[in-house]
Amino acid sequence: KQTLLPLLREEASSFIFPCKLAVQRPELQHMVLELLKCIPLLLFLLFVCGLDHFIFSILSIIQHHSFIEYSYQTSHHLSVNVMGTSLMAQLLRGTIGALNTSFDTEMETSNLMCLPQPTGMTRQQYLNTCLPLGALALLCLAQVYPFRLRRAIAAFYFPKREKARVLFLYNKLLRQRKHFLQLQRGRVARQAQQPPTLGTLLVQWCRRRWPRLRRILRQKCTLCGMAETPQHQPCPDPDCSALYCKSCW
């Protein structure tokens, strides 16, 4: 509970608050990993759609530029004339005259049946193909909210384990805070030993010269970097220009 152990700014960034709608830092790392897993599927889908369009374009070019139409025409006429009035001439006209034929042939054909008949995918079909991947990406973004219920469900069924977890977390925070203060003291001491830069000296001189510029030239907390507010506490040493926020102080 916050009344028992108020969290510092650095500590609050490592916890998940269920009532906040925004995606928090621990959830963001897991969400980014899930989204990265969708990249191979996206690349495969783009490759398949591109290959489909490429094959359709090739088949369409073949269909439009390989069409050949054949036209065949032929004419045949046979006529046998037997002259004379004798019995043999009459007999020949009766027999050989049956061979007289006459016909014309005209035929047209093409290779249309042998050509490919490609059918391209419509926009709706492309959209239906990409919808599952889009739904998967949305699930990766929305799964952080159902995952917040895991602790509440576990606490409902295992209250003793929940109490042990809270006590463990409380003691862990106390140990981390103790080491954190030691590390920050050392960092501030090393930072104080370094000479101030020209920009820092110029800002400090402007703040002393024109107090109204303090609203614009605001300093930051030496530890957490929080912008200056009326609750910030300056270092009591007059030779030190360090500034601390309320929680860090």
Closest to 153 measured CA to CA, from 166, 143, 162, 142? 162
Round to whole Å and give the CA distance between 24 and 41. Answer: 26
Cβ neighbours for 200, distance < 8 A, ≥ 6 positions apart = 241
pTM: 0.57
Q: What is the pLDDT of residue 173?
A: 87
Token pair belonging to 111: 């290779």
Q: 139 vs 23, 126, 214, CA distance in Å?
A: 14, 21, 47
Token pair belonging to 92: 């020949």
Q: What is the pLDDT of residue 199?
A: 63
Q: What is the pLDDT of residue 104?
A: 81
Q: What is the pLDDT of residue 201?
A: 64
Phi-psi domain of 178 (left: phi exceeds 0; alpha: psi -120 through 50; beta: other): alpha
Closest to 121 measured CA to CA, from 65, 64, 59? 59
Q: What is the pLDDT of residue 107?
A: 85
Cβ neighbours for 107, distance < 8 A, ≥ 6 positions apart = 71, 72, 73
Q: What is the pLDDT of residue 216?
A: 61
Cβ neighbours for 121, distance < 8 A, ≥ 6 positions apart = 52, 53, 56, 129
Q: 248 vs 10, 199, 218, CA distance in Å?
A: 10, 25, 17
How does pLDDT run along the chain (249 residues), one tens digit per residue?
Answer: 556 677 777 778 888 888 888 888 888 888 999 999 999 999 999 999 999 999 999 999 988 888 888 888 888 887 777 777 777 777 777 777 777 778 788 888 888 888 888 888 888 998 999 999 999 999 998 898 999 999 889 999 999 999 999 889 888 888 888 887 778 788 777 777 777 666 666 666 666 666 666 666 667 777 776 777 777 777 777 777 677 777 777
Q: 62 vs 67, 115, 249, CA distance in Å?
A: 8, 8, 78
Q: What is the pLDDT of residue 128?
A: 92
